[in-house]
Amino acid sequence: MAAAALSSARWPLRSTAGLAGPSRALARGVPGGANLPWSKLGFGVHPTSAIVKYSWDGDAGKWDAGVESADPKVEVHLLSHVINFGQAVFEGLKAFHTADGRVVAFNLRCNAARLGRSAERMSLPRVPEHVFIEAVERAVRANVDFLPPYGSGGSMYIRPVLFGHGPSLAIAPAPTFTFAVAVTPVAAFFEGGLKGIKALVRTDVDRAAPRGTGGHKVAGNYSPDIRTSAQTHERGYDVSLFLDSKTLTHVEEFSVANFVGVTRDGTIVSPQTPSILPSCTRKVVMTMAADLGLKAEERPIPWEEVPTLAEVAACGTAVVLTPMKSITREDTAEHIEFAGHATLQRMYDHVVATQTGVVPDAHGLLHEISLN
């Protein structure tokens, strides 16, 4: 999971000159044109130029042509499903400026497919892959000045959102729907890069029900974790780790990312269960393992196996791979420490090198975005 949330407040704009309305063309720039302190941005919301919005045409049964708007606000009725019933899903992916000067979105077809599965679960109209790709391309082009330049270590975080709105009190499909894409420049999600962090196993809270929405990127999955994460931080830990809610015997995922481990024989392992969000970045890691001569297994991981792992990391779009220095489980008084993260470092470097075009894109993950 990714824990970032785009603010609903008005963003300061780079420039609105010549923008009489959302349908007017926006000025185009170059990667890094905003000249921000790229390495100091952290993982948060920063001012950009525009969002892209599409509206559902119920009569035609399809999405409209979409508009680019300098105003990041979306007006909805107070009795809308998105506010009252949480009928919303979202995605998170990144764009990069590569070593050879291209602008690329990473692994976006995986995100398009996952948004479609989430939409179906939440009774939202699917966004066809070509509309998803078009929306991402338009959002990146409209804000390319805010794409961190190659060598800065940064990227552009892309947040597609799909939700139902319009006045309604019924537990039924919403009167209308909006699909929108916002972007923001980011540095690393966790401060300190690949330095290890401390995880706390939360057996007092269930992350997801066995047959619930944990396997989908549903907005309502994340709000309950705000309090849980705050409690974890108050106890002196950096991130929460959850076990399966039915038996508390198997690892599921961290609050902000999937669980990835490295066995002592060098095999990369990650849990397999329908209640875990299928991370697109985890899929990349498991696929790229073979590039480094490593085996990869997606399978149930019993808690008893965790102390035997050589390395453990949180894996997701925002973090790629963030190693654990330790995992503590208070209810059983267990404290597990990890000596290093050499294998995870190799994998992290390989993924980042692929994202930024330093090594060949052997798996066809880079989608080039024309700035014309």
Q: Which residues are catalytic?
A: 217
Neighbours of 304 (CB within 10 A): 9
User: What are the E-state strand segments in the chain?
Assistant: 51-57, 62-63, 67-69, 88-90, 93-97, 103-106, 155-165, 176-186, 197-201, 239-243, 251-254, 258-262, 268-270, 296-298, 311-316, 320-329, 334-337, 366-368
C-alpha–C-alpha distance, residues 372 and 262, integer Å: 44
C-alpha–C-alpha distance, residues 225 and 300, integer Å: 23
Residue type, 8: S
C-alpha–C-alpha distance, residues 105 and 139, integer Å: 11
Paired residues of 270 in beta bridges: 298
C-alpha–C-alpha distance, residues 35 and 261, integer Å: 38
Of 113, 111, 120, 167, the closest CA to residue 139 belongs to 111
